[in-house]
Copies of this chain bind each other. A is one copy, B any other.
Amino acid sequence: MTSKNEPTSPSERSGHKTGARIKRYFPVLEWGKRYDRTTLTSDLVAAVIVTIMLIPQSLAYALLAGLPPEMGLYASIAPLLAYAIFGTSRALAVGPVAVVSLMTAAAVGNLGLESPAEYAVAAITLAFISGVMLTVLGLLRLGFLANFLSHPVIAGFITASGILIAASQLKHILGIQAEGHTLIHLLGSLSAHLSETNFITVVIGVLSTAFLFWVRKGLKPLLLSAGLAGRSADLLAKAGPVLAVAATTLAVWLFGLDQRGVAIVGEVPTGLPPLTLPSFSPDIWQGLFVSALLISIIGFVESVSVAQTLAAKRRQRIEPDQELIGLGTSNIAASLTGGYPVTGGFARSVVNFDAGAETPAAGAFTAIGILFAALLLTPLLFFLPKATLAATIIVAVLSLVDFSILARAWGYSRVDFAAVAATIVLTLGFGVEVGVSSGVMISIGLFLYKTSRPHVAEVGLVPGTQHFRNIKRHEASTHPEIVTLRIDESLYFANASFLQDLILDRVIRDEAIKHVVLMCSAVNEIDLSALETLEAINTRLKDMGITLHLSEVKGPVMDRLRRSHFLDELTGEVFLAQYDAIQKLSPDAIREVE
């Protein structure tokens, strides 16, 4: 057994050369120098598989965001290269994702723009603002802000978003017009246009959806029974959407279904991603600012949680603040090359990891794959039915919908349940932005509420011991002139008055009391409000002829109290141990018990 560890203190770490600092901001320098042929092979294999998965997804999510399909492809090129340079996760696959695409649609929709061109510029601007925010948060090391999004809120939000996304895609499956950013609007709009349903579109949409669900559930067992290895079967099943895209595109082309009312993707420009600039109109920035903040936080939280899960599997670390910079530069890259907001995708990153990606270079190779698609494959997408893309979205997002969080939260704590339920209802009822911001406020509000009424137990001496226990739970003896209250929470402004009310209430209904002892063993901090409340309690008790004492005050709390005048004014004493207090205030009582 060694005596003491040797912790690497921050000061020691910063003692390294500036090289370390540069490497922190450019993780590529770290993994790049150890790059070899084996790693290259692994990364290339993963990149091919992710590329195949990403092509239909990027088209579909652009559609979900209300943008032309090529913007989905563009958002899958430069951002991936930026992440490969600045990101710290070895497996995170960046690009357009469902929830952020939905949030983009909501954000840009709020602006009430007329032309598709303005709409596209707004999406580009949103990516730029969000990119700058993420980068700045990363440079300022403010990644911890994302922690204020509690798990129940995220889970509720993701589930509700999945429902909203699926509902928003029904119009493409039915071949009708519909709009809305809340469930009620969407369903109302759908039912209003239901009579315009296009039968052939429905056939394509329903068949694609059914096929994709089968690929997810039924194909893998089939491949396994055909003798494929588990991992290969898994990965091959991911190519399902590409098959659906190919088959339905071919069908539309062969039978001229676009002439019979089937909405198709149409002309997708061929070529390199364009160089674009965000708008710098103050109106647009003002209109997008809050949305960009929400998108940044949601995107970051989602991305970091995937990255952390995957990194831990290989005993690797990701650096949350550097991740902010990685995602921030990716979004800035998106805004400069005709893309829209991106983040790390869950399913995609797991595929990348399972396919063997070992470094962020796999992402760069994926970007090259998508670039080839943008240069060569776009003419083939002309006859691709929108219903097929909608089907891929629906199948992908329904896996996000998970109401089991409600049951789990209910079983664990009513407060957490309230946060999940409220987030789901508000997101469905008022849209993604209201949903997530209310969720955060509700979580914080409930936390403050809980800490504002801390558990305070009246304690007594357990006979024959020096232990003090809650008199409601244990056989413990008390003295009529002494009340001892154990406070099970740090004291701060929101619970200080509660403590005061409780103490005054307790002493006013019992004229015999001459001493109040506050047992502070669980008090980790006393802020200035609580200090002043303690002073007020002391004065008020003094006015009633009662003495106030403290016991078992922790070292750091005591240090701070010494810096105030409280200890001079305190009518009683500060006892190291509660037992000392009782011994001093009522020696007879203890002898009696013993």
Contact = CB atoms under 8 A, between A and B. Distances in A.
A87 B443 CA distance: 34
Contact of A458 (B5, B313, B448): B5
A478 B1 contact: yes
A131 B42 CA distance: 70
A1 B539 contact: no
Contacts of A496: 147, 151
Interface centre among A152, A447, A460, by most B CB within 10 Å? A447
Interface string A450-479: 111111001010000000000110011111
B563 A412 contact: yes
A508 B409 contact: no
B1 A529 contact: no
B479 A1 contact: yes
Interface string A517-546: 000001011011101110010011001100
A409 B563 CA distance: 10
A398 interface: no
A151 B532 contact: yes
Nearest to A1: B589
Nearest to A450: B525
B147 A497 contact: yes
A503 to B, nearest CB: 11
A501 interface: yes
A444 interface: yes
Interface stretch (A249-257, A334-342, A486-494): A486-494
A147 B1 contact: no
Contact of A504 (B317, B531, B586): B317
A415 interface: yes
Contacts of A458: 5, 7
A493 B447 contact: yes
**In terms of DSSP, what is the predominant structure of the interface of chain A?**
helix
A217 interface: no
A564 B411 contact: yes
Contacts of A552: none
Nearest to A479: B1
Contact of A560 (B412, B443, B510): B412
A492 B447 contact: yes
A445 to B, nearest CB: 10
Nearest to A544: B315
A408 interface: yes
A525 B450 CA distance: 10
A480 interface: yes
B508 A317 contact: yes
B508 A315 contact: yes
B151 A543 contact: no
A247 B536 CA distance: 41
A448 B443 CA distance: 12
A60 B3 CA distance: 73
B543 A313 contact: yes
A8 interface: yes
A593 interface: yes
Contact of A315 (B149, B475, B543): B543
Given A504-B312, A564-B412, A529 B478 contact: no
Contact of A452 (B144, B416, B504): B144
A493 B151 contact: yes
A4 interface: yes
B564 A493 contact: no
Contacts of A151: 493, 496, 528-529, 532-533
B312 A543 contact: yes
A147 B498 contact: yes
A485 to B, nearest CB: 12
A152 B528 contact: yes
A509 interface: yes
A501 B304 CA distance: 12
Nearest to A476: B4
A522 to B, nearest CB: 6
A26 B158 CA distance: 49
A496 B560 CA distance: 27
A344 interface: no
B527 A415 contact: yes
A320 interface: yes
A2 interface: yes
A246 B560 CA distance: 52
Contact of A478 (B5, B309, B313): B5
Interface in A564-594: 564, 586, 588-589, 592-593
Given A1-B593, A309-B540, 11 more contacts: A2-B478, A3-B478, A5-B458, A151-B496, A313-B540, A317-B505, A412-B560, A412-B564, A415-B527, A416-B529, A447-B492
4 closest A-B pairs by beta carbon, nearest first, are: A150-B493, A312-B540, A416-B528, A151-B529
17 contacts: A1-B480, A1-B586, A144-B453, A144-B497, A146-B497, A147-B493, A147-B495, A148-B448, A150-B527, A308-B500, A313-B543, A315-B508, A316-B508, A317-B504, A317-B505, A317-B508, A413-B560
